[in-house]
Amino acid sequence: MILGAHESTAGGLHLAFERGARDRADAIQLWTRSSRQWAAKPLDPESVAAFRSAHAATGKDPIPTAAHATYLINLAAPDDAVRGRSIDTLVEECERAEALGVGQVIVHPGAALDGGRAEGVARVGSALKTICGRIDRRARVRLLLEITAGQGSCVGCSFEELAEMLSRAGEARLGVCLDTQHMYAVGIDWTTPRGYDETFAAFERVIGFAHLEAFHLNDSKKPLGGRVDRHERIGDGVIGLAPFARLVGDPRFATLPGYLETPPLASGDESYAEGLRRLRSLV
């Protein structure tokens, strides 16, 4: 696995690569806009040029990159206005990523809110089809659905729901990002040898490895099946180190990026350098 982290863009998008080099990250995830606001300042040519230059300077052909979409997006919303705004915003996220040369946009599918999970999944599929139809066919950016932790009425917390979304959209641009903490939270126990084999056999059967394009690497503050999205530093949570040794050393995932999204150290410093060191020590 290509090990990386979600780096800060404070002071400029291009600085994510400087911070990644500090942490020895070989893949970079970032926000290209606020994670909690609908409005976003347009990208200016100078920022785009600085980002592309810093990316090229990584010298690794270049290293994999992903943009995490804003948390406000809800493609499963029953309200047409909210869903429409979410579609517009995700199209914009993809256009920003394409302008910067970022390879992936990773998005949480959303919440049904009205309690109708099947209807929520169908709305996501329809929204994704619309979004892909609005993105320039020449664009190279990939749009990845992230498995969710199963909190509330959030959809996309099972392989079956993700597969249904992909099927309904019917678009080649789409893929999947598996978050280790979210899987654990929803009750997918990938942490034992037997559970690991069963988990990825089920993924291959239901979705297919051809659709798996990234991982989020997070330990968990909460127990198996807690259905709460609470990340912990690698090795400091209830998952522990051993399961990550199986995952990051799995040859099936050798070419996929895995991005840390772990909370900071007690000192307030980022935990990514230590997390990446721990993961590499397992391989």
* Active-site amino acid positions: 36, 68, 71, 108, 146, 179, 182, 216, 229, 231, 261
CB contact set of 116 (below 8 Å; sequence gap of 6+): 78
Handedness of CA 79, 118, 191, 105 (dihedral sign): negative
Collapse the DSSP code of 182 into the 3-class scheme (helix H, G, I; strand E, B; otherwise coil) and give the result: helix
- The residue to which tokens 């150290």 are assigned: 265
DSSP letters for 104-164: EEEE---B-SSS-HHHHHHHHHHHHHHHHHHS-TT---EEEEEPP---TTB---SHHHHHH
Place of tokens 């990773």: 106
Q: What is the C-alpha to C-alpha distance for residues 155 and 19, in angstroms, rounded to an integer?
A: 33
Smallest Cα–Cα separation from 214: which of 138, 105, 73, 91? 105
3-state class (DSSP) for residue 78: coil
Backbone angles phi, psi at 157, to 5 degrees: -100, 15
